[in-house]
Amino acid sequence: MIDINPVTQLLQQLQDNICQALENADGTGKFVEDNWQREEGGGGRTRVLTDGTVIEQGGVNYSYVSGSQLPPSATAHRPELAGRSWQACGVSLVIHPKNPNIPTSHANVRFFIAEKDGDAPVWWFGGGFDLTPFYPIEEDIIHWHQTAYDLCKPFGDKVYAEHKKWCDDYFYLKHRKETRGVGGLFFDDLNQWDFATCKDYIQAVGNGFIDAYVPIINKRKSMTYTEQQRQFQLYRRGRYVEFNLVFDRGTLFGLQSGGRTESILMSMPPLARWQYNYQPEADSAEAKLNEYLKPIDWTNKLEL
């Protein structure tokens, strides 16, 4: 038997730590908690910060849900899970800052287990974090990837490279032929290590998000910006919406499994816009973003 309680305790503490770190970086904004229950089993606590000094809207959600039968999104690529009872828990967050010089960020760590009498349980961990800048500052991107590299190192020399590539591949908008941002880490179906090591890794990823993102907020929150930059930020937020609603497996799983819609869609930005056939001016700061919307090997700029 696998005891899920240490994982849920870790995740709730991680939610507390991330919210506290983000409140400190914002300066005035506070997360408001909304506790909810799911009829079939489980519940969660959604925390949302709205209209802070720095964070326009951010959500940090903890959930634990369970059920007797998995939704189609889960069994499509794992048909052996059909007919099993299941439990899933995780922390998921998206932060949309006001200042276009601060990137949007996302992080997620989760655990899943499916059980059936007479069979061994099937379990895995997943998660990661990624960064979506509007006006890329290379110093910040290098810091982001350095933090990712450092937290992966104790778990194996190949972990950063493998999970960085997975992130580049996953957060790719096929219809736009561009990555959602500058990447980070992404992993799923993690069970090749023993249970304790896998749990330690998601804890390192969760803590690593704080170490990676909060210094960027603190460096960039006092930078001035123009209305033109703000409008470009809102335009690029539209890409975030497109990915989450078209490609994101977590969104699909949440909706198909009868999850709480408000919590699932808390990742949406409070404002976004679309513009027909928008093309940035050549050699402009807006055009420069296109240079980063592809997989880039940052290792030659990291301290390895």
Is residue 258 a known part of a binding site?
yes
Whether residue 163 lies in the annotated active site: no
Is residue 143 a known part of a binding site?
no
List, in sequence order, every beta strand (DSSP E) within the chain: 32-37, 42-50, 55-67, 85-97, 104-115, 122-132, 172-173, 178-179, 183-190
Is residue 45 a known part of a binding site?
no
Is residue 163 a known part of a binding site?
no
Check: CB of residue 187 under 8 Å from CB of residue 164: no
Is residue 260 a known part of a binding site?
yes
Cα distance between residue 44 and residue 22, in whole Å: 20
Amino acid sitting at position 202: I
Please provide the DSSP assignment of 63-93 as one string. Answer: EEEEESS--HHHHSS-GGGTT-EEEEEEEEE
The token pair that represents 74 in the structure block: 């889960």
Using the Cα atoms of residue 8, residue 255, residue 243 and residue 99 in order, give the sign of their dihedral.
negative
The token pair that represents 116 in the structure block: 């059936």
Is residue 108 a known part of a binding site?
yes
Is residue 175 a known part of a binding site?
yes
Is residue 110 a known part of a binding site?
yes
Residue 2 CB neighbour total at 10 angstroms: 12
The token pair that represents 140 in the structure block: 């910040």
Catalytic entry in 77, 106, 143, 163: 106
Is residue 66 a known part of a binding site?
no
Helices 159-170 and 138-152: crossing angle, nearest 10°? 130
Annotated binding site: 92, 96, 106, 108-110, 145, 175, 258-260
Annotated binding site for a divalent metal cation: 96, 106, 145, 175
Annotated binding site for substrate: 92, 108-110, 258-260
Give catalytic residues, as residue numbers.
106
